[in-house]
C-alpha cells in the first residue's frame, strides 16, 4: 500500500466524516521492520469518544429498522471491495505490523470468510412463538439489536479481528465505535472504516477513534451509550474491562490470551506433528493468542521429535517481511522484543537448555527452542507472545493431561495421535474452549464458536454465538380474549 494511503487515512472517522483528532499529541505509526514513519495521527480526546458514541446512537435506530436484505447488500459490497483491494491491504499488513506475505494472505482469507458470514447474519435474527400456560395468551420472543457496540481490537491480526466483531454487530442492526490498537491504527481502524464507507454503509453507523488510554482513561468503556464491549487483547486489560462493564451492567465479550499446548503422544506421526508444532508456534512470529507456547512430547519419542523439530526451526528464515521467503518478520515493537529476550534469559537462569537460541536485531527476534525448563517455572504458565517455545517431555497420557491443564489459560490446544478417538477423549479432558486433534493450535472458522475458558476470556464469537454477543431478546405477550385477575 502506498505511503500516501497511510497519510490519507491518518484521521478519525466520526459521524461519517474524516477529521483530525483534537488532542494535544500525535500517535506515530511506525513500520516495525525498518522504523519508517508511516503516519502521524492526532489523537482523539474524551470529547471525540463521546461524539462518536452519540453519532452511533443517532444512526442506529434507522439502521435497525432497515430491511435486513438492504443491510445485507453492504456486506456483499464490502466483500467485493476486499477482493479488489487485496494487494493493497496485504501491503498495509506487511508495512504496519510486520506481517509476512504468508501471514497477510492468511489474515485476508479469514477476513473474507467473516464478511461472507456477515452477509448471512443480516438475515439470522428470527422471532419465536412460545407456548403459555394461560389460555388465549400468545408469547412472542423477538431477537433485537443491543444498540451500540464498542469494539477494541489488538495489533496482531488487526484487520481480521476488527472485522470479526464490527461486521456481525452491524449486520445484526447495531452501530459500532471501533478503537484500534495504537500500533495498528490504519489496518485495524481507518482502513476498516474506509472499506465500509465505500461499501455504502450510512454515516454514523461505524465510527473509528484512534486514541490511547493515557488520553481517555476508561471513557471508551465507561460511556453510557454502548451496551456491549467486545475486547480482544491481554487478560490483564480484559480483567479491567470486565470489571468496569460489570459495574455498569454492560455485557463484555472478552477474547483474551492463551498458553496453548501441542501434545505429541507416543503413537503420533512425528514428521506431521513437527510440521504442525512449528507452524503453531512460529506463525506471525508467535504473536497469536492460540500459538503453541508449549510443545509436550511423550518421553519415548522425545529424542526423535526434538531432533526433527530443531532442524526445521533452524531452517526458518527471519528477515524482511516483504520477502516472500521470510517466515519470521519483526515483532510489533521494541518493548515486545526486549520482553522476549528477557524470557529466554530468565529460562536459562532457571536452568533451561537452549537447543536453538535466536539472536535479536532491533525488532527482528530469531526463533528460540528451550528445554529443561523447571516444572515449577512461571514461564510455563504465562503467555509468551513471540518466537520462543518450551519443549516439555512427559511420561504417559495422564501426566500430559495434568501438564496441559496446569495453566491459568484455556484457549486452544492440539494433540497428535495415531488413534483419532483417543485424541478426542484426550481433548475432552482439557479445560479449553477449543482443542484440535491431529492439527495445529491456530484455527478460526466463521461458524464455529470461538473463545476460551479460565483467563482466556468470557463469551464466544462466530456463527450463531454472534447473536448471543450482539443481540438481546424481548418478550411481548398478547392476550386474546380477557385475562382473569384475582382482585
Mean pLDDT of the residues in the chain: 97
Kindly state whether residues 191 and 214 are assigned to the same domain.
Answer: yes
Note whether residue 444 is domain-resident: no
Kindly state whether residues 192 and 280 are assigned to the same domain.
Answer: no
Average pLDDT for residues 155-172, to the nearest whole number?
98
Note whether residue 447 is domain-resident: no
Kindly report the pTM of this predicted structure: 0.97
Kindly state whether residues 92 and 235 are assigned to the same domain.
Answer: yes
Helix (H) or strand (E) holding 401: helix 396-405
Kindly state whether residues 294 and 145 are assigned to the same domain.
Answer: no
Average pLDDT for residues 281-298, to the nearest whole number?
98
What is the pLDDT confidence band of residue 301, given thresholds at 50, 70 and 90?
A: very high
Note whether residue 479 is domain-resident: no
Strand partners, 416: 264
Kindly state whether residues 245 and 354 are assigned to the same domain.
Answer: no
Kindly state whether residues 80 and 112 are assigned to the same domain.
Answer: yes
Note whether residue 195 is domain-resident: yes
- For residues 185 and 155, give the distance between their C-alpha atoms in angstroms, rounded to a whole number: 9
Kindly state whether residues 273 and 238 are assigned to the same domain.
Answer: no
Q: What is the CATH number of the domain that holds 353?
A: 3.40.309.10
Task: Please give the pLDDT value at position 180.
Answer: 98
Task: Please give the pLDDT value at position 447.
Answer: 96
What is the pLDDT confidence band of residue 3, given thresholds at 50, 70 and 90?
A: low
The three cell numbers locating residue 366? 530469531
Kindly state whether residues 244 and 339 are assigned to the same domain.
Answer: no
- CB-based burial of residue 402 (10 Å sphere; 0-12 exposed, 13-18 middle, 19+ buried)? exposed
Evaluate whether 140 touches 129 at the Cβ level (below 8 Å). Answer: yes
Q: Which domain holds residue 118?
A: 3-256+456-474
Kindly state whether residues 292 and 238 are assigned to the same domain.
Answer: no
Within 10 angstroms of residue 46's Cβ, the number of other Cβ atoms is 17
Q: Indicate the SS3 state at residue 119.
A: helix
Task: Please give the pLDDT value at position 5.
Answer: 83
Res. 1: pLDDT tops 90 = no
**Is 5 a residue of the active site?**
no
Q: What percent of the chain has pLDDT over 90?
A: 98
Q: Pick the catalytic residue: 51, 107, 113, 289? A: 289
- For residues 482 and 480, give the distance between their C-alpha atoms in angstroms, rounded to a whole number: 7
Q: How many domains does the chain have?
A: 2
**Is 289 a residue of the active site?**
yes
Task: Please give the pLDDT value at position 134.
Answer: 95
- Label the pairing between strands 436-437 and 413-416: parallel
Note whether residue 443 is domain-resident: no
Note whether residue 323 is domain-resident: yes
Kindly state whether residues 101 and 209 are assigned to the same domain.
Answer: yes
Kindly state whether residues 266 and 237 are assigned to the same domain.
Answer: no
Q: Indicate the SS3 state at residue 41.
A: strand
Chain CA centroid to CA 132, Å: 42
Note whether residue 445 is domain-resident: no
The three cell numbers locating residue 141? 420472543
> Read out DSSP for 121-159?
HTT----EEE--SSTTEEEEEEEEE-SEEEEE--SSSHH
Note whether residue 482 is domain-resident: no
Average pLDDT for residues 451-474, to the nearest whole number?
97
Grid coordinates 482439557 are at which residue? 430
Evaluate whether 188 touches 155 at the Cβ level (below 8 Å). Answer: yes
How far the first Cα of the chain sits from its last, in Å, is: 73
Q: Pick the catalytic residue: 117, 215, 255, 383? A: 255
Res. 4: pLDDT tops 80 = no
Q: What is the number of alpha carbons within 13 Å of residue 285 lying toward its C-beta?
A: 35
Q: Indicate the SS3 state at residue 438.
A: coil
Kindly state whether residues 180 and 327 are assigned to the same domain.
Answer: no
Q: What is the CATH number of the domain that holds 81?
A: 3.40.605.10
- For residues 360 and 383, give the distance between their C-alpha atoms in angstroms, rounded to a whole number: 20
Amino acid at each position: 500500500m502506498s505511503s500516501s494511503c497511510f497519510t490519507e487515512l491518518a484521521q478519525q472517522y466520526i459521524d461519517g466524516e474524516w477529521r483530525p483528532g483534537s488532542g494535544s499529541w500525535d500517535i506515530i505509526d511506525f513500520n516495525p521492520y525498518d522504523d519508517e514513519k508511516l503516519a502521524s495521527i492526532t489523537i482523539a480526546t474524551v470529547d471525540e469518544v463521546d461524539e462518536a458514541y452519540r453519532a452511533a446512537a443517532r444512526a442506529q435506530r434507522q439502521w435497525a429498522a432497515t430491511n435486513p436484505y438492504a443491510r445485507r447488500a453492504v456486506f456483499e459490497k464490502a466483500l467485493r471491495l476486499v477482493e479488489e483491494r487485496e494487494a493493497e491491504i496485504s501491503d498495509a499488513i506487511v508495512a504496519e505490523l510486520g506481517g509476512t506475505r504468508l501471514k497477510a494472505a492468511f489474515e485476508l482469507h479469514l477476513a473474507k470468510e467473516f464478511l461472507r458470514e456477515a452477509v448471512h447474519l443480516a438475515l439470522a435474527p428470527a422471532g419465536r412463538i412460545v407456548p403459555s400456560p394461560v389460555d388465549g395468551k400468545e408469547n412472542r420472543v423477538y431477537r433485537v439489536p443491543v444498540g451500540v457496540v464498542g469494539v477494541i481490537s489488538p495489533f496482531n491480526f488487526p484487520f481480521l479481528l476488527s472485522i470479526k466483531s464490527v461486521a456481525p454487530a452491524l449486520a445484526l442492526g447495531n452501530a459500532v465505535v471501533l478503537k484500534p490498537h495504537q500500533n495498528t491504527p490504519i489496518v485495524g481502524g481507518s482502513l476498516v472504516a474506509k472499506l465500509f464507507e465505500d461499501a455504502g454503509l450510512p454515516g454514523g453507523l461505524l465510527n473509528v477513534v484512534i486514541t490511547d488510554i493515557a488520553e481517555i482513561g476508561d471513557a471508551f468503556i465507561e460511556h453510557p451509550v454502548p451496551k456491549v464491549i467486545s475486547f480482544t487483547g491481554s487478560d490483564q486489560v480484559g480483567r479491567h474491562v470486565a470489571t468496569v462493564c460489570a459495574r455498569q451492567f454492560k455485557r463484555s465479550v472478552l477474547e483474551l490470551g492463551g498458553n496453548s499446548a501441542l501434545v505429541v503422544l507416543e503413537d503420533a506421526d512425528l514428521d506431521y506433528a513437527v510440521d504442525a508444532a512449528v507452524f503453531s508456534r512460529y506463525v506471525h512470529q508467535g504473536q497469536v493468542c492460540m500459538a503453541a507456547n508449549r510443545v509436550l512430547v511423550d518421553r519415548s519419542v522425545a529424542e526423535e521429535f526434538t531432533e526433527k523439530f530443531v532442524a526445521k526451526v533452524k531452517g526458518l528464515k527471519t528477515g524482511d517481511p516483504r520477502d516472500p521467503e521470510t517466515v519470521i518478520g519483526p515483532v510489533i515493537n521494541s518493548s515486545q522484543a526486549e520482553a522476549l529476550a528477557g524470557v529466554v534469559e530468565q529460562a536459562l537462569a532457571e536452568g533451561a537448555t537452549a537447543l536453538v537460541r535466536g539472536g535479536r536485531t532491533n525488532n527482528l527476534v530469531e526463533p528460540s527452542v528451550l528445554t529443561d525448563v523447571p516444572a515449577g517455572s512461571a514461564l510455563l504458565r504465562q503467555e509468551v507472545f513471540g518466537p520462543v517455545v518450551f519443549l516439555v517431555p512427559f511420561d504417559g497420557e495422564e501426566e500430559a493431561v495434568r501438564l496441559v491443564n496446569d495453566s491459568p489459560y484455556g484457549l486452544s490446544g492440539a494433540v497428535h495421535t495415531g488413534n483419532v478417538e483417543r485424541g478426542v477423549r484426550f481433548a475432552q479432558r482439557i479445560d479449553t474452549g477449543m482443542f484440535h486433534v491431529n492439527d495445529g493450535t491456530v484455527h478460526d472458522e466463521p461458524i464455529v464458536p470461538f473463545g476460551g475458558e479460565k483467563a482466556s476470556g468470557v463469551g464466544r464469537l462466530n456463527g450463531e454465538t454472534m447473536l448471543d454477543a450482539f443481540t438481546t431478546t424481548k418478550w411481548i405477550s398478547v392476550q386474546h380474549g380477557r385475562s382473569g385477575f384475582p382482585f
